[in-house]
């Protein structure tokens, strides 16, 4: 708009130590600085999007005290792997998923509402406490009560401790299920002692946390556990207004091939109905059908605390996105499209710095006279591969780019590699190896590029193409 070439703007940014691209977003302060350097003036206008206005109004709207009616408590099981979270939930809902799962790992979020003698209870089973905390970080605080599952033969393990701190951080009441009490190695004292060293004082020791002895194998104690949860729910007096357009959270979503997008939602306030216009993340649409996840039956309406599988949206939102019911499908579309546009725009990383990627490498070179260094972190399956890759890369010549391998090692891509790449603005190259879960998440969070290869010459090809600005986007 000010008639200055992009390269010149990038150069000003570079003098401030900001390496970025022309499509990235920058902070207002920095924009003002750049403008001043180029003799222009910035006129800021608060861009309140439809989304900001409409949805925050919905979130901020208070329900009338008189409109609130009791709702089911929403329970999440947390604890060390293999201590029985899946089995306990199976036992409660009367199915057997734990046995059928590959490796017994809970892959997807399960959510059900059961009826315990006329009193409904909802369960949300997140795969691990990291997912629980991530959802919380996105403002999706759906859990009312956390059940910490501890196998009595094992006692409190490192992940149990973590689960406890995650539950405490969420500020929700905690109940402990001391599970596997049918096993011969059952040692209640060990578990109780372990708990109290984590700051969980059992009620039988004068503390405020109920410890219920359970066995998912025999069913012993399950009824006690449900009773305990309902007692807490009664004390906490969870309420919501069912008579309003629904608001809630997406727990999981799936892009099916023929059935379209299926999303698992839990309603927080209001009632969701077939035919409602919903916006969630960058997906929107009219609810075509709703299915109860437990019975598999179609339902017409879902009130507060009710998990439900919903069909009819055009795109799959991420877990933790909030959903809203709007009057107008046009508004829903506008919000969803706005969001999709924004997620396509490159955002600066949290430290205000956009990391180099092979696709943006060339843009950095544009208009800059200096020689640039492209930092790489190499990970490969065996030592021989590393040597072969280094040999290939040494053949690459470019007047403006120098390749520097910061670290070369054998084994899977780790969180530490990503941290290093973040700190040194590097690209991580993996050859016949994959990043672990933590590394993947960290890379996404920090905007570090991780590229995986199975053919050595392809690495050299891509790097050459990147230097020449000819890299084709990855499929």
Instruction: Return binding residues for GTP.
Output: 79-86, 125-129, 179-182
Q: DSSP labels for 346-385?
A: PPP-TTS-PPP-HHHHHHHHTT--SPEEEEEEEEESSHHH
Both tokens assigned to 310 = 């919903």
Q: For residue 120, which of 111, 128, 129 has the smallest C-alpha distance? A: 111
80 vs 322 by CB, closer to ligand GDP: 80
Q: For residue 88, which of 210, 156, 176, 155 has the smallest C-alpha distance? A: 176
10 vs 251 by CB, closer to ligand GDP: 251
CB 180, min distance to ligand GDP, A: 4
Both tokens assigned to 103 = 């490796």
CB 209 within 8 A of CB 201: yes
Both tokens assigned to 227 = 């009773």
Looking only at residues 229 through 268 of this chain, which bind ligand GDP when binding is defined by CB under 6 A? none
Stretch that binds ligand GDP, among 214-222, 296-304, 324-332, 355-363 (CB under 6 A): 214-222
In the set 40, 183, 198, 456, which binds ligand GDP (CB under 6 A)? 183
In the set 20, 21, 76, 87, which binds ligand GDP (CB under 6 A)? 87
Report CA-CA distances (Å) from 108 to 59, 73, 121, 133, 237.
Answer: 27, 21, 20, 16, 30
Which residues have CB under 8 Å from 101's CB, separation 6+? Answer: 86, 107
- Known binding-site residues equal 79-86, 125-129, 179-182
88 vs 251 by CB, closer to ligand GDP: 88
183 vs 230 by CB, closer to ligand GDP: 183
- The 3-state DSSP class for residue 69 equals strand
Place of tokens 């437990």: 294
Buried b (16+ CB within 10 A) or exposed e, 4-13: eeeeebbebb
- CA–CA gap between residue 34 and residue 12 (Å, rounded): 6
98 vs 247 by CB, closer to ligand GDP: 98
Looking only at residues 395 through 414 of this chain, which bind ligand GDP when binding is defined by CB under 6 A? none
Stretch that binds ligand GDP, among 80-88, 247-255, 359-367, 451-459 (CB under 6 A): 80-88
What burial class does residue 273 get, using C-beta atoms within 10 Å of its C-beta: 0-12 exposed, 13-18 middle, 19+ buried? middle
Stretch that binds ligand GDP, among 29-37, 83-91, 133-141, 247-255 (CB under 6 A): 83-91
Which residues have CB under 8 Å from 14's CB, separation 6+? Answer: 368
83 vs 322 by CB, closer to ligand GDP: 83
CB 207, min distance to ligand GDP, A: 24
x/- letters, 22..61, toward ligand GDP (CB under 6 A): ----------------------------------------
CB atoms within 10 A of CB 279: 27
97 vs 291 by CB, closer to ligand GDP: 97
In the set 6, 81, 95, 347, which binds ligand GDP (CB under 6 A)? 81
- CA–CA gap between residue 453 and residue 432 (Å, rounded): 6
CB 225, min distance to ligand GDP, A: 12
55 vs 217 by CB, closer to ligand GDP: 217
CB 377 within 8 A of CB 429: yes
In the set 104, 185, 199, 469, which binds ligand GDP (CB under 6 A)? 104
Q: DSSP labels for 236-281?
A: HT-EE--SSB-EEEEEEEEE-SSS-EEEEEEEEESBEETT-EEEET
Size of the site for ligand GDP (CB under 6 A): 19
What kind and span of H or E run contains 324? strand 322-326
In the set 13, 75, 140, 216, which binds ligand GDP (CB under 6 A)? 216
In DSSP terms, 112 is beta-bridged to: 123
Stretch that binds ligand GDP, among 85-93, 136-144, 186-194, 249-257 (CB under 6 A): 85-93
- CA–CA gap between residue 306 and residue 295 (Å, rounded): 13
In the set 30, 40, 198, 217, which binds ligand GDP (CB under 6 A)? 217
Listed in sequence order, the DSSP H helices in 102-187 are 129-137, 158-170
* Under rule CB under 6 A, residue 179 binds ligand GDP: yes
In the set 71, 110, 180, 213, which binds ligand GDP (CB under 6 A)? 180
- CA–CA gap between residue 186 and residue 204 (Å, rounded): 18
CB 214, min distance to ligand GDP, A: 7
x/- letters, 116..155, toward ligand GDP (CB under 6 A): ---------------------------------x------
CB atoms within 10 A of CB 140: 20
Both tokens assigned to 296 = 């598999």
Binding site for ligand GDP (CB under 6 A): 79, 81-87, 98, 104, 106, 149, 179-180, 182-183, 215-217
């Amino acid at each position: 708009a000010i008639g200055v070439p992009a390269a010149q703007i990038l150069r000003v940014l570079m003098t401030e130590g900001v390496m970025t691209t022309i499509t990235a977003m920058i902070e207002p302060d920095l924009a003002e600085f750049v403008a001043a350097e180029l003799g222009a003036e910035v006129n800021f206008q608060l861009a309140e999007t439809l989304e900001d206005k409409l949805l925050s109004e919905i979130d901020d709207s208070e329900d009338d005290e008189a409109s609130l009616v009791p709702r089911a408590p929403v329970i999440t099981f947390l604890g060390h792997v293999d201590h029985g979270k899946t089995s306990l939930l199976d036992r409660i809902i009367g199915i057997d998923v734990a046995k059928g799962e590959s490796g017994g790992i809970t892959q997807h979020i399960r959510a059900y509402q059961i009826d315990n003698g006329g009193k409904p209870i909802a369960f949300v089973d997140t795969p691990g406490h990291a997912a629980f905390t991530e959802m919380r970080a996105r403002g999706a605080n759906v859990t009312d009560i956390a059940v910490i599952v501890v196998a009595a033969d094992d006692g409190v393990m490192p992940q149990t401790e973590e689960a406890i701190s995650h539950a405490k951080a969420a500020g929700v009441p905690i109940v402990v299920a001391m599970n596997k009490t049918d096993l011969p190695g059952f040692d209640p004292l060990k578990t109780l002692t372990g708990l109290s060293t984590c700051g969980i004082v059992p009620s039988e020791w004068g503390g405020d946390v109920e410890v219920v002895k359970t066995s998912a194998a025999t069913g012993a104690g399950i009824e006690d556990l449900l009773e305990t949860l309902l007692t807490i729910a009664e004390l906490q007096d969870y309420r919501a207004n069912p008579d309003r357009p629904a608001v809630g959270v997406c727990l999981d979503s799936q892009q099916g091939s023929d059935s379209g997008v299926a999303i698992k939602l839990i309603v927080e306030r209001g009632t969701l109905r077939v035919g409602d216009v919903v916006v969630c993340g960058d997906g929107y649409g009219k609810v075509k059908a709703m299915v109860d996840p437990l019975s598999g039956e179609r339902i017409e309406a879902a009130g507060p605390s009710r998990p439900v599988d919903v069909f009819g949206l055009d795109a799959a939102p991420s877990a933790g996105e909030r959903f809203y019911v709007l009057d107008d499908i046009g508004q829903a579309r506008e919000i969803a499209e706005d969001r999709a546009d924004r997620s396509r725009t490159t955002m600066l990383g949290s430290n205000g710095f956009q990391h180099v990627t092979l696709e943006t490498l060339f843009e950095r070179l544009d208009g800059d006279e200096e020689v640039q260094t492209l930092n790489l972190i190499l990970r490969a399956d065996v030592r021989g591969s590393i040597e072969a890759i280094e040999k290939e890369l040494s053949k690459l010549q470019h007047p403006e780019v120098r390749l520097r391998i910061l670290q070369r090692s054998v084994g899977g891509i780790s969180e530490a590699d990503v941290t290093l790449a973040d700190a040194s603005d590097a690209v991580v190259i993996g050859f016949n190896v994959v990043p672990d879960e933590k590394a993947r998440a960290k890379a996404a969070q920090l905007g570090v590029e991780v590229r995986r290869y199975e053919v050595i010459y392809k690495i050299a090809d891509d790097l050459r193409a990147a230097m020449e600005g000819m890299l084709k986007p990855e499929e």
